[in-house]
C-alpha cells in the first residue's frame, strides 16, 4: 500500500493536467481554491489507500487522475455550497422552531428586496433633510395596533427582556411568580437572563399558586418592577392560581417608582380566541389594562421577521432608546422593512390573506382536505399509494401548547421503500422536504405547504421510486 501511495502524482503535476483547468472553469474557481480541493481529494485517497479501503483505479493509471478530479469535483459541492437553505415544511407545525419559525408574506419579501438593494432613509429624515432615527420606522404602526404611547424594536424578544431589565432594574429587585420562571427553547431562562442583566430576582409564590398577597409582601424600597411572564410553552392544570394583569397593575402603581412589565412571548395582534383558537392575550388589551411595558416576538404568532417589540409608556421607552444596549441590540434594515409591511397588513385588516402564519392557523380543515385530494390527483404517475386521514396540526414555536388544530393528513406508502426510507430520502433531497413519520407511515400535513411547494413534493416522489 505504501508503494501505491508513493505513486500518487504530486500536486504540482496534477495542476498541469487539463482536468485541473476544466475544474477551475466549471466552478469559476481561483487556482488557490481549486488546489485546495485537489489537496483534499488526494488526502482522502491517501487515507483510503493506507486503510486498504480504496476502491478506485491504481495510482499509476490514467483512470486514477480522472478519479481524483471526479472526487475534487464532488468535494466542490460540499465545500462551497450554501449552508442555509430553503426547506419544505410538510409537518403542519406552523411556527416550527427548527425550521425558521414564521415565514414572510410576499409583500414583505418584496419590500425587503427593495430596501436591501438600495439606499434607504433608515436614519435620515427626508422631510427635514437631516439625520433621523431608525426607531421611528415601525413605531407608528406598533402604537396604532397596540394603543401604546411609544414603541421600539430590537433583535428578538430575548434581547427585549434583557434590555428592559438592564436599563430599568439593574441592582434593583424584580418580582416574578415562581410559576412564571420559564425556560424557552432550551437556551432562554428568565432567571438566567435576569442574572445577566444585573437585576435581582425576587421570586414569589409557588409553582402552581401565587396570590396577590405574595407580591404585596415582597414589595420594598428596592423593588423596581413587577414582571409577569407569559407561560408560552406549557400549561399548568389542576389546583392553580395566578394574579391577573389588572391586579398587578394596580399593585405596582401604588408606589410611583414601581413599573409593571409583561413579557408576552408571542405578540398576538389578531384575536385567535374569537375563532375559538386558544386564549392568548391580545397585546392591545394588556396595554389598555395599564401595563407600563410589554414585549413580544416578531416571528411567533405575529407572523413577521425575527424581532423583539417593546411597547408601552413613552417615559420608559425613551429611556430604553437612549441606553447603550439599544445600539448593541439594534435591528437591521431588512428586518424593519419586513416588520413594517407585516404590521401594515394588520392595520388594513388583510392578514388572513397576506400573513402566512395567520393564514395557516386559520385555515379550515375542509380547505386542507381539498388540497390533499388535489395533491393525490396530481400524483397519479407516482408509484406510491396515498390515503387521507384525519389528524391534528400544532401551532409550534413554543406557543399555544394546548391547542391542536383539526387537519387532514396524506399518508404515503410504497411497496418497496419503508416509511423511514421515504422520510429520509425526502429530507435529504433538494429541496429538503420535512415530513412526519408515525406508526410506520409517512404523513404530509399540507397546512404548511404552498401550491408551488406541493408540486415540488410530487416531483420529489417521482424521483424517489
Ligand atoms: C419566545 C419567548 C421569549 C424569547 O423570544 P425570542 O423572540 O425567541 O427571542 C421570551 N419570553 C417568552 C415568554 C417567550 O415565549
Q: For 114-134, what is each residue's pLDDT tens digit?
A: 999 999 999 999 999 999 999
* Nearest C-alpha neighbor of 307 from the set 277, 286, 351, 338: 338
Handedness of CA 371, 377, 381, 385 (dihedral sign): positive
* CATH node for 87-95+360-464: 3.90.1150.180
Span 208-256, pLDDT tens digits: 899 999 999 999 999 999 999 998 777 888 888 888 999 999 999 998 8
- Mean pLDDT score, 395-418: 94
Q: Going by C-beta distance under 8 Å and a sequence separation of 6 or more, which residues neighbour residue 104?
A: 112, 304, 305, 338, 342, 356
CA of 416 to the centre of ligand 1 (A): 44
Q: Is 265 in the pocket of ligand 1 (CB under 6 A)?
A: yes
Partners of 409 in beta bridges: 389
pTM recorded for the entire structure: 0.92
Nearest CA to ligand 1 atom 1: 265
Instruction: Write out the three cell numbers for 200.
Output: 435581582
Residue 233: the pLDDT is 77
For residue 138, report the distance from its CA to the centre of ligand 1, in Å: 20
User: Is the bond preceding 67 in cis, omega lying within 30 degrees of 0?
Assistant: no
Please say if the pLDDT value at position 59 is more than 90.
no
Phi, psi of 320 (to 5 degrees): -65, -40
Is 157 close to ligand 1, i.e. is its CB under 6 Å away? yes
What is the 3 state secondary structure string of 233-287?
CCCCCCCCECCCHHHHHHHHCCCCCCEEEEEEEECCCCCHHHHCCCCCCCHHHHH
Cβ(183) to ligand 1 under 6 A? no
243 lines ligand 1 (CB under 6 A): no
Question: Does residue 230 line the site of ligand 1, with CB under 6 A?
Answer: yes
Comparing C-alpha atoms, which of 396, 369, 234 is closest to residue 303? Answer: 396
Domain ranges of the chain: 2-80, 87-95+360-464, 106-354
Ligand 1 proximity of 101 Cβ (cutoff 6 Å): no
Best residue for ligand 1 mutational test, from 102, 189, 232, 283 (most atoms within 8 Å of Cβ): 232
Atom of ligand 1 nearest to the CA of 306: 7
pLDDT score at 40: 95
pLDDT tens string 315-372: 999 999 999 999 999 999 999 999 999 999 999 999 999 999 999 999 999 999 999 9
Mean pLDDT of the chain: 94
The per-residue pLDDT for 80 is 87
Q: What is the mean pLDDT of residues 177-196?
A: 88
CA 221 to centroid of ligand 1, rounded, Å: 29
Q: Is 124 in the pocket of ligand 1 (CB under 6 A)?
A: no
Residue 19 pLDDT exceeds 90:
yes
Among residues 184, 155, 185, the alpha carbon closest in space to that of 332 is found at 155
Question: Which of the listed residues 97, 188, 231 should we mutate to test ligand 1's pocket, taking the one with most ligand atoms within 8 A of CB?
Answer: 188
371 C-beta closer than 6 A to ligand 1 = no
- 194 close to ligand 1 (CB < 6 Angstrom): no
Section 180-209 average pLDDT:
90
Cβ(290)–Cβ(257) under 8 Å?
Answer: no
The predicted structure's pLDDT at residue 25: 95
Q: Is the pLDDT of residue 178 over 80?
A: yes
pLDDT of res. 58: 85
**CB contact at 8 A, 66 and 19:** yes
With a 6 Å cutoff on the Cβ, whether 454 touches ligand 1 is no
The residue nearest atom 6 of ligand 1, judged by CA position, is 157
Ligand 1: does its nearest atom lie under 6 Å from the Cβ of 165? Answer: no
Mean pLDDT of the region 52-60:
85
Q: What is the pLDDT of residue 183?
A: 85
Atom of ligand 1 nearest to the CA of 188: 4
Ligand 1 mean position to 235 CA, how many Å?
A: 16
Which cell goes with 104? 414572510
Distance CA 245, CA 133 (A): 33
- φ, ψ of residue 270 to 5 degrees: the values are -110, 130
Is the CB of residue 60 less than 8 Å from the CB of residue 9? no
pLDDT on residue 105: 98
Find all residues with CB under 8 Å of 309, minimum gap 6, and list them: 138, 142, 151, 152, 153, 157, 160, 267, 295, 296, 297, 298, 302
Q: Which of 55, 23, 18 is nearest to 40 (CA)?
A: 23
Ligand 1 atom 12 nearest Cα: 265
Rounded to 10 degrees, the C-alpha dihedral 126/146/107/160 comes to: 80
- Indicate if ligand 1 lies below 6 Å from the C-beta of 399: no
For residue 387, give the 3-state DSSP assignment. strand
Please work out whether the CB of residue 297 comes within 6 Å of at least one atom of ligand 1: yes
Whether 92 lines ligand 1, by a CB cut-off of 6 Å, is no
CATH topology of domain 106-354: 3.40.640
Distance (Å) from CA 267 to ligand 1 centroid: 10
Q: Is 398 in the pocket of ligand 1 (CB under 6 A)?
A: yes
Q: What is the pLDDT of residue 4?
A: 81
Q: Does residue 232 have its Cβ closer than 6 Å to ligand 1?
A: yes
Amino acid at each position: 500500500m505504501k508503494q501505491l501511495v508513493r505513486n500518487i502524482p504530486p500536486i504540482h503535476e496534477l495542476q498541469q493536467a487539463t482536468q485541473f483547468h476544466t475544474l477551475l472553469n466549471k466552478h469559476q474557481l481561483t487556482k488557490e481554491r481549486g488546489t485546495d480541493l485537489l489537496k483534499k481529494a488526494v488526502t482522502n485517497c491517501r487515507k483510503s489507500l493506507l486503510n486498504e479501503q480504496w476502491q478506485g483505479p491504481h495510482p499509476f493509471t490514467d483512470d486514477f487522475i480522472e478519479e481524483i478530479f471526479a472526487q475534487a469535483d464532488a468535494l466542490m459541492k460540499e465545500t462551497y455550497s450554501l449552508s442555509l437553505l430553503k426547506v419544505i415544511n410538510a409537518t403542519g407545525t406552523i411556527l416550527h422552531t427548527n425550521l425558521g419559525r414564521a415565514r414572510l408574506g410576499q409583500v414583505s419579501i418584496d419590500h425587503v428586496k427593495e430596501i436591501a438593494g438600495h439606499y434607504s432613509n433608515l436614519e435620515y429624515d427626508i422631510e427635514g433633510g437631516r439625520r433621523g432615527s431608525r426607531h421611528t420606522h415601525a413605531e407608528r404602526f406598533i402604537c396604532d395596533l397596540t394603543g401604546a404611547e411609544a414603541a421600539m424594536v430590537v433583535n428578538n424578544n430575548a434581547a427585549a427582556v434583557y434590555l428592559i431589565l438592564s436599563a430599568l432594574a439593574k441592582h434593583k429587585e424584580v418580582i416574578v411568580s415562581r410559576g412564571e420562571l420559564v425556560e424557552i427553547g432550551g437556551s432562554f431562562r428568565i432567571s438566567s437572563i435576569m442574572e445577566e442583566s444585573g437585576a435581582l430576582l425576587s421570586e414569589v409564590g409557588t409553582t402552581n399558586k401565587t396570590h396577590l398577597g405574595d407580591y404585596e409582601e415582597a414589595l420594598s424600597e428596592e423593588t423596581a418592577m413587577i414582571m409577569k411572564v407569559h407561560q408560552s410553552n406549557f400549561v399548568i392544570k389542576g389546583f392553580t392560581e395566578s394574579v391577573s394583569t389588572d391586579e398587578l397593575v394596580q399593585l405596582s402603581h401604588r408606589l410611583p417608582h414601581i413599573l409593571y412589565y409583561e413579557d408576552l412571548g408571542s405578540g398576538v395582534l389578531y384575536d385567535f380566541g374569537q375563532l375559538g383558537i386558544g386564549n392568548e392575550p391580545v397585546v392591545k388589551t394588556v396595554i389598555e389594562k395599564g401595563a407600563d411595558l410589554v414585549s413580544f416576538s416578531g416571528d411567533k404568532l405575529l407572523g413577521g421577521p425575527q424581532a423583539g417589540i417593546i411597547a408601552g409608556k413613552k417615559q420608559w421607552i425613551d429611556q430604553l432608546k437612549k441606553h447603550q444596549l439599544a445600539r448593541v441590540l439594534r435591528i437591521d434594515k431588512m428586518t424593519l422593512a419586513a416588520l413594517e409591511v407585516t404590521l401594515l397588513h394588520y392595520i388594513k385588516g388583510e392578514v388572513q390573506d397576506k400573513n402566512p402564519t395567520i393564514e395557516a392557523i386559520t385555515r379550515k380543515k375542509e380547505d386542507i382536505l381539498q388540497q390533499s385530494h388535489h395533491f393525490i390527483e396530481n400524483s397519479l404517475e407516482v408509484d406510491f399509494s396515498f390515503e387521507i386521514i384525519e389528524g391534528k396540526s400544532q401551532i409550534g414555536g413554543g406557543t399555544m401548547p394546548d391547542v391542536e388544530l383539526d387537519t387532514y393528513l396524506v399518508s404515503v406508502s410504497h411497496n418497496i421503500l419503508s416509511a423511514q426510507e421515504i422520510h429520509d430520502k425526502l429530507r435529504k433531497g433538494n429541496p429538503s422536504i420535512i415530513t412526519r413519520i408515525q406508526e410506520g407511515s409517512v404523513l404530509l400535513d399540507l397546512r404548511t405547504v404552498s401550491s408551488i411547494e406541493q408540486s415540488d413534493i410530487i416531483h420529489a416522489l417521482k424521483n424517489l421510486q
